[in-house]
Structure 1
């Protein structure tokens, strides 16, 4: 079938349900957010914020945080063989700190590591994506944005839902959540969980290997107890236990010529890999939140403890029938993290304020970490075992001062001290012959002040404007795979940025529109480059870069049931001073940053009867770093579309869905070294049916 015909056919199927919906009025209401760590109307917060509530998550089929991030202008997500990586406004994942430029918080519990970037959405009330540097209130890693996840609050009646979906590629997704009182008004409990399995779209034809090459298994469970002995005091204990098992990658290997033209996802439908490639990640987290409301202010303590256990084994070259058969790469990592934040907040007729102290302690034990490769007719085996200890102490504060009736001034700052120590031992053998061990011990301390200033002007009840200047900060670190050199060669400096933003927010009777313009000047930007004769990857600093762009978001109700929504991000992100040693990249586009992102949706919303929606998503051309040839290469942009049609009857919601309707193929990640390149692709067309029961 012609692709255009198929798209219009799906639109017709969905819009045909419009005739049968219930006559329910939908209107825009004020949205409350916690961006400044106190509850405020979104119109009063001087920054760009994307809000996605529980119903939109369900309607759009958003099941993961990375799915939600694709709704945000200028945010690009890639799932590679090395965890989830994020690009936002030209800022990329810092590979040897493992930190993404976007930090996730779930009721105050941080998720920032690229191997620990997928908390459960089974119990979500609202997701707030705070765009731009958020380090003043949210800490050292929030250099690009914060995804603030607010879970549901229990009531004096038990409520919840249970759901399941089944689709092609034997994909199964089940979720459940419930919460309610154990003692009315005093003690509440809740539990939620999800399980997902997917056989993947790649077949491994190598004899004796599992044919479902890129299959996935994903289990998440969480529970809480909320104790409220008085109106002023509350205590909440939350426990979570997440486990994932992901095989291979969503792509394939190719030669390292650096030519993307002609590569297609269909080329990877069948692969031949002789060694299992699997990452097993177990994350356990516990948090304790204590809060007491005095007459003039509120004091709140959030303590978290988290452990991550990663076991990764990979085919050395992700293919078979060559000299590397039987060889592998490996990454085994254990991380333990403690965090504590003591926060004070209050508001009166004169001003609103937040202040507090923060500390964290992380121990990362990595090893075995290395690879086996064929070199000169013999096997070269390298393994790096390292222990990295990190500590952070910080003081932060922010005040919001209204004046002249329609103005509000925000002044904030965070002073922090970060200390990191590494103890690394690398062993190497070639043809069974051992080389002398390489050892490296390093220690660095960074002190930083992270300020923010913003001015908002409320033109009227519908329109507010703002301008802000904020500093972004991502700490430095150590390369934890090294075979030579000292401190200068095996460490990198913090990345800093100054972000200028001007924006406006308008909420009318039946539509809203948010617009922002930003400029970011970046220094010592973290880059991930190839060295060691084209074989070793390391993190380094490029001296200067910049990004600038426009972001638009809007929603419009054509009538009481039909809703239009959309978002657009345009960006120019380039290096200004980047000497990689082999060549300079001055004036070239920052890798992994699309020229634009866009989405447009039309939905028929209803609380009963038929409902449906069609969404169109676009991503612009994107540059990737080609380490094998010391160059930037560019992939084409693409437009995809999704649709959903459902029927609600009392507590039941039964629906069907299809994603990537026209089965478009585009490159989502690329990485190369001498002789080998890995190219990632988006998913092919997926379809299925599902239900949700709410009680």
Structure 2
């Protein structure tokens, strides 16, 4: 009944919009993207791409990457005790490399770690979401896709904006962004800052504990200098400092014997837990881009450095008044990464090409890392300290060759070498008795060749179709908490995939349409299992899996001011050959992969005066692994949410109000269990607020 009421409400609002203006239509502008690291018209790129402009970010009230992901068919993210874990087309976060299958790039700096997957969206010109394996040009761990964030190019005139928002649960957000010329046509500068805080929707009633259980605080600052001494040469230095702290989780600890679909968000609104729980992430990054352009070629160098400090502490069972009172889990990490890419590309040539070399090195220090847990009535304590070093070298190239008047062939390849070593000491005790330390040292090298082949056909000036084959890759790694010094027990192999895709793109005068049909064969999937009642996690590879599905998205200008947009992704993702030693999963659905994702939005757009939009988002049933019940796979129901925003633009001011999750729909979006407890995460409840933005 609740969903029926929502659909009726949406229909009425849609009808009001449909008759609100004339029947004249607008003409869509050509969309330029840099997916292949050269500028191209989006319909001329033979792969699935979703573009979100700066105006759409403001219209939809998108503030963070997780909200970008909700716009993309078959893409999903869960904010859980395990960080921000993304999934796409059946590819999931690699828990023991901490890497997401989707890599974010902003000013050349990669964001892929599950504990550092929320860069600032201030000063953004355009976001390009590239779907499917992107290892040929982007390398790293882009087995699922890339979110390429393009920042604004400054002008001689100083421009910017100031924004403030306030909402329920004492939500507060402010941002400032400005850029311009210090010396006209030579030297430019810019700075942006955002701050947000939220008391959260969960109340902790345990004495001496802060009642605002899932409070969140975020501060992000970035500045740049752009120097253009000549028309041919430019250099850009970007400095970024981010700080995020979130307390507890958006859910609660529950009884693992309960059916997952009997758990409701209201059960988590008033809880009691006795150990302070938080995750704190500090990020400092620097990037230097050097760009030299001639008439026919472009030479570019991008150097980046990033340091992540992550501190996490958790209540072992997220509850109070249980035998586990006072017990905690902990994870402290430092990650230091350098990257260097040198790239040469064509410019103003019929045959487009790009080639280059890439290097990176990463040092990850982890510890203390472990937990205090009950095991057969006594406390088991595990703790580990490790240092993992990683070195990557790669050479890559891609060319786009016209074949006659209607075809274009894309050939690409990357040869990549990744070397990793680990030095870890694991300590443990049970019932007050210490066990001998486990010392594990190992070193492995992964070499791979990542080819790509695509053929595009120009049906006409506005429509293209394509077929492509590409290889995806995520390197292997090591267990950060080993139970032995045996390499086979504590290392896992690289995950590989072959992606087949057929697509159609159209960009007309008043509508756009993108269709992709894909099949992915996956080998050596990164998985893990629980041992000793969940006190120890072991790494492994599932032999084979596949995913196949369809993705469709588009937009239609009903009139100059009314825009309808929609996207849907349908997927079948299953294990073909996976035995974890106690259970076979052949034919079972891959976890963390909704059966479908869908969105539809209707916007009334005006440069001045009244504007508004309504968006509906839906996700299908999702599978999770139930460690407390023999590692069985369980299925959580999906849900439908709707968001609305209405504003008024007058002069340089934009005054608006918004509501997200209008009907207060709730569903489980993360789940993990072990013997005696489960951690259950939910989507956000209804949020509402007002905002004021001044643009200058």
TM-score by length of 1: 0.97
Three-state SS of the structure 2 residue aligned to 1:261 is helix
Q: Say whether the 8 Å CA contact 1:332–1:366 is kept in structure 2.
A: yes
Deviation at 1:2, TM superposition (A): 6.8
Aligned to 2:455: 455
Q: Deviations over 1:44-96 (max 9, x none)?
A: 10001000001101111110011101100000110001110011000000000
Q: Distance in 1 between matches of 2:494 and 2:439?
A: 24
Distance 1:691 1:17, change over 3 A: farther
Aligned to 1:283: 283
Aligned to 2:140: 140
Three-state SS of the structure 2 residue aligned to 1:542 is strand
Distance 1:477 1:34, change over 3 A: same
Q: Distance in 1 between matches of 2:525 and 2:429?
A: 35
Distance 1:25 1:179, change over 3 A: farther
Aligned to 2:213: 213
Deviation at 1:353, TM superposition (A): 0.5
Distance 1:26 1:100, change over 3 A: same
Aligned to 1:649: 650
Q: Say whether the 8 Å CA contact 2:25–2:557 is kept in structure 1.
A: no
Q: Is residue 469 of structure 2 the alignment partner of residue 469 of structure 1?
A: yes
Q: Distance in 2 between matches of 1:120 and 1:36?
A: 24
Aligned to 1:668: 669
* 1:234-633 correspondence runs (5 A): 234-257=234-257, 259-629=259-629, 630-633=631-634
Q: Deviations over 1:215-257 (max 9, x none)?
A: 1000000000000000000000000000011000011111222
Q: Deviations over 1:303-326 (max 9, x none)?
A: 000000011111121111122211
Q: Say whether the 8 Å CA contact 2:48–2:516 is kept in structure 1.
A: yes
Deviation at 1:527, TM superposition (A): 1.5
Q: Say whether the 8 Å CA contact 2:14–2:602 is kept in structure 1.
A: no
Q: Say whether the 8 Å CA contact 1:17–1:612 is kept in structure 2.
A: no
Q: Say whether the 8 Å CA contact 2:141–2:474 is kept in structure 1.
A: yes
Q: Distance in 2 between matches of 1:127 and 1:187?
A: 25
Q: Distance in 2 between matches of 1:464 and 1:524?
A: 35
Aligned to 1:67: 67
Q: Deviations over 1:166-197 (max 9, x none)?
A: 11111111111110000000000000011010
Q: Is residue 154 of structure 2 the alignment partner of residue 189 of structure 1?
A: no
Q: Distance in 1 between matches of 2:681 and 2:423?
A: 34
Q: Distance in 2 between matches of 1:588 and 1:327?
A: 35
Aligned to 1:659: 660
Deviation at 1:260, TM superposition (A): 1.1
Deviation at 1:12, TM superposition (A): 5.6
Q: Distance in 1 between matches of 2:510 and 2:155?
A: 31
Three-state SS of the structure 2 residue aligned to 1:411 is strand
Aligned to 1:122: 122
* 1:91-110 correspondence runs (5 A): 91-110=91-110
Three-state SS of the structure 2 residue aligned to 1:456 is strand
Q: Distance in 1 between matches of 2:42 and 2:6?
A: 39
20-29 or 639-648, which moves further after superposition? 20-29
Aligned to 1:640: 641
Q: Say whether the 8 Å CA contact 1:17–1:611 is kept in structure 2.
A: no
Q: Say whether the 8 Å CA contact 1:164–1:692 is kept in structure 2.
A: yes
Q: Distance in 2 between matches of 1:457 and 1:518?
A: 18
Q: Say whether the 8 Å CA contact 2:107–2:287 is kept in structure 1.
A: no
Deviation at 1:339, TM superposition (A): 0.3
Aligned to 1:174: 174
Q: Say whether the 8 Å CA contact 2:523–2:542 is kept in structure 1.
A: yes
Distance 1:19 1:546, change over 3 A: closer
Q: Say whether the 8 Å CA contact 2:25–2:510 is kept in structure 1.
A: no
Deviation at 1:481, TM superposition (A): 1.0
Deviation at 1:112, TM superposition (A): 0.5
Q: Distance in 2 between matches of 1:684 and 1:588?
A: 31
Where structure 1 has 5 or more consecutive residues not aligned to the other structure, the ranges are: none
Distance 1:165 1:25, change over 3 A: farther
Q: Distance in 2 between matches of 1:293 and 1:233?
A: 6
> Matched residue pairs, number?
695
Distance 1:645 1:257, change over 3 A: same
Q: Distance in 2 between matches of 1:44 and 1:647?
A: 37
Q: Deviations over 1:575-629 (max 9, x none)?
A: 0000011110000000011110000111101101111111111101111111222
Distance 1:576 1:403, change over 3 A: same
Q: Distance in 1 between matches of 2:422 and 2:414?
A: 26
Q: Distance in 2 between matches of 1:422 and 1:209?
A: 38
91-100 or 21-30, which moves further after superposition? 21-30
Deviation at 1:18, TM superposition (A): 8.1
Three-state SS of the structure 2 residue aligned to 1:67 is helix
Three-state SS of the structure 1 residue aligned to 2:260 is coil
Q: Distance in 2 between matches of 1:545 and 1:532?
A: 27
23-32 or 564-573, which moves further after superposition? 23-32
Three-state SS of the structure 1 residue aligned to 2:484 is coil
12-21 or 245-254, which moves further after superposition? 12-21
Q: Is residue 230 of structure 2 the alignment partner of residue 230 of structure 1?
A: yes
Q: Distance in 2 between matches of 1:520 and 1:497?
A: 6
Where structure 2 has 5 or more consecutive residues not aligned to the other structure, the ranges are: none
Q: Say whether the 8 Å CA contact 2:25–2:558 is kept in structure 1.
A: no
Q: Give the CA RMSD over aligned residues.
A: 1.7
Q: Distance in 1 between matches of 2:676 and 2:693?
A: 49
Distance 1:280 1:683, change over 3 A: same
Deviation at 1:483, TM superposition (A): 2.1
Q: Deviations over 1:631-663 (max 9, x none)?
A: 110011211111111111111111110011111
Distance 1:155 1:589, change over 3 A: same
Distance 1:17 1:564, change over 3 A: closer
Deviation at 1:26, TM superposition (A): 3.8
Distance 1:350 1:122, change over 3 A: closer
Deviation at 1:537, TM superposition (A): 2.0
Q: Distance in 1 between matches of 2:680 and 2:422?
A: 32
Q: Distance in 2 between matches of 1:650 and 1:532?
A: 65
Deviation at 1:432, TM superposition (A): 3.3
Q: Distance in 2 between matches of 1:270 and 1:368?
A: 31
Q: Deviations over 1:343-366 (max 9, x none)?
A: 000145440110000000000000
Deviation at 1:379, TM superposition (A): 2.6
Aligned to 1:681: 682
Q: Say whether the 8 Å CA contact 1:15–1:612 is kept in structure 2.
A: no
Q: Say whether the 8 Å CA contact 2:599–2:617 is kept in structure 1.
A: yes
Q: Say whether the 8 Å CA contact 2:392–2:418 is kept in structure 1.
A: yes
Three-state SS of the structure 2 residue aligned to 1:59 is helix
Q: Distance in 2 between matches of 1:569 and 1:366?
A: 38
Q: Say whether the 8 Å CA contact 2:457–2:464 is kept in structure 1.
A: yes
Q: Say whether the 8 Å CA contact 2:647–2:657 is kept in structure 1.
A: yes
Q: Distance in 2 between matches of 1:22 and 1:188?
A: 43
Deviation at 1:296, TM superposition (A): 2.6
Deviation at 1:293, TM superposition (A): 1.0
